[in-house]
Structure 1
Amino acid sequence: MRFGFSTNAFRQYDLDEAIEVLADVGYDGVELLFDQPHLYPPEASDEEIEAVRETLDANDIAISNCNAFMLTAIEDFHHPSFVEEDESYRRRRIEYTLDSLDTAAALDAGHISIEPGGPVPEGRSRDWAMDTFEEGLREVLARAEEVGVDVLVEPEPDLLIETTGEFLELADRIDSPRMRCNFDAGHLFCVGEDPAEAIETLGPYSPHYHLEDIPADRTHEHTQLGEGGMDIDGFLETLDDTGYDGFVTIELYPYEETAEETARGAMRYLEEHGWV
């Protein structure tokens, strides 16, 4: 398996600077934040996209994933969502995701990750939210099939799809081969699951993994590797045993003030524990 690091921790850096730092640290891949201040698909020009390609090539680093989950350019990264009460408001998330697919295709990236529906609006049922999410997702998947990019739904605590079982329920409803899973180990730990055990179930749907540590009380707080309560090595051993040869991206977005130091610290953990 190969390791990447997400630029959502590097919001205080220009994207090209973040890519250069992560290549220098020794990561094989970089997860591109599809949001301001990095590469924001609704506004990204052909020239900007080409400049990203050139920076990646110059630093001999691959795209591990395109993060179309966080979206602060409009509001905060859970809004707008696919399940907003206001149809015109949720339309903004759908249009953004369509633009993200086009940008990923222009970069020859294999997938984007998206939020799993967003918070269920107060006064609305889960059934309504699932139906509304499915409607938007099907439109997005039609574009994904056109451009040849997978859409990775990422289960997250307190959003519509939180658990392994809820993702499988969604997979039963959606028949597109482009709808897959962004397996975030910390998120599953937060909702009481054992991420290592979940690999057997979600692995067939998961071409990409997120990894961070989480406090022992399972609070949803992305924490430096080795400083929380997760069995990081047990998870990676289980994943390695499956023969997985794709990317595991370290996602530590709360560490904006120390992004480079944090990326280096995560790499030290991986090196000291024999993963790189």
Structure 2
Amino acid sequence: MLTWSYPYATPDTRGPAMGATGDASAVLDALAAAGYRGVELLVRDPRAVDVPAVRAALAGSGLVVAAIGTGPVVADDRLTLADADGTVRRRAVDRARSAVDLAAELGGHVAIGKLRGSLGDDPDRAWDHLRAGLSVVAGHAGSAGVVVVLEPQGPATMDNLTTTEEGLGFVRDLALPSVALMLDLLHVEAADPAPVRSWAAAGEHLRYVHVADSGRAAPGRGGFDLPAHLAALEATGYDGFATVEIAQGADPLVTAREAIRYVSGLTGAPG
């Protein structure tokens, strides 16, 4: 049975986020009241997160951390593991290691999507940088008991690991117990030839999921066959977190409540 989660951007983030913002206790209490059971923490600099405040908000709401999202590391500070600049790469690895430390303290996986970076003009060298950086982060995660989940993203967003097949192959080739796969329904639809079958293809390597309707709309507001996708996902036996990653409306908490009502109606799952 799926367990539903919603993103919350911690105050260290600077730019717009696909998640709720504001006082941690107020936001997490509202998400719990809506029916969610988990939260994905979107962070820019894990060392700047007020851990006692977040811990208190988690305890008060009863939510648990589904994942540490690293998107703001790229959106706000332009740090990536494959960057041609060694200083940028070292800072990206440091941020990712700090995200692992935060996950070890608060719980959840560490999700890496755009933090991989672009292959740019020298793909072979960029792949080497990416593998080297990930190996360092994965080694740290293994020691901390944390799993790093890699997210394939469609070609409109990334120039590497754009399909489920590519992401799965990369994770298998790495063969590191602390690295697994996550899938985002939007990117599955954008890049995979048989999207509904991608969940079964990911198999035991799938450890985390993002859900959205077309155009990052709230589930039920777009054109994707959400019932077929969620049925296929549940048929695999996956029983981890599914986080609703969608464009935020004028009031993110209204958007969050609308989303949980729709997906819970499809799956019968608790938040």
- Which band: TM-score by shorter chain? 0.7 to 0.9
Q: Which runs of 5+ in 1 are unaligned?
A: 215-220
Which one of the candidate residues 48, 51, 60 is aligned to 1:49? 51
Aligned-pair CA distance for 1:161 = 1.4
Query: Counterpart in 2 of 1:25?
Result: 34
Matched with 1:275 is 268
Alignment check: 8 A CA contact 1:10 1:18 kept: no
Distance 2:252 2:108 in 1: 26
Distance in 2 between residues matched to 1:100 and 1:52, nearest whole Å: 14
- Aligned partner of 2:200 in structure 1 is 200
CA contact (8 A) 1:186 1:195 kept: no
Residue segments in structure 2 that go unaligned for 5+ positions in a row = 10-17
- Residue 99 of structure 1 is matched in structure 2 by 98
1:137 to 121, 134, 138: 134
2:108 aligns with 110
Aligned partner (choices 246, 252, 255) of residue 262 of structure 1: 255
The 8 Å contact of residues 4 and 248 in structure 1, kept in 2 or not, is answered as yes
- Aligned equivalents of 1:13 and 1:72: distance in 2? 21
Instruction: Report sequence identity in percent.
Output: 28
Partners of 1:10 and 1:256 within 8 A in 2: no
CA contact (8 A) 1:5 1:249 kept: yes
1:137 positional shift: 0.2
Q: CA deviation at 1:7?
A: 1.5
Paired residues, what number? 256
Which residue in the other structure is 1:217 paired with? none
C-alpha deviations, 1:8-49, integer Å up to 9, x for none? 4345423332212111111111111123xxxx31323xxx31
What RMSD over aligned residues (CA atoms) do the two structures have, in Å? 1.9
1:233 maps to what in 2?
A: 227
TM-score after normalising by structure 1: 0.86
Given that 1:12 and 1:256 are in contact with CA atoms closer than 8 Å, whether structure 2 keeps it comes out as no
Name the residue aligned to 1:63.
65
Cα deviation, residue 119, structure 1: 2.0
TM-score norm. by structure 2 comes to 0.87
What is the Cα deviation at residue 265 of structure 1? Answer: 1.0
Tell me by how many angstroms 1:256 deviates.
5.6
d(CA) in 1 for partners of 2:67 and 2:194?
Answer: 24
- Shift of residue 67 of structure 1? 0.9
Distance 2:104 2:234 in 1: 29
Distance 1:115 1:274 in 2: 27
1:66 counterpart SS class? strand
> Does the 8 Å contact 1:222/1:251 carry over to 2?
yes
1:156 equivalent in structure 2 = 153
Query: Match for 2:94: what amino acid?
Result: E
In 2, the alpha carbon distance for the partners of 1:74 and 1:272 equals 36
Corresponding residue for 1:218?
none
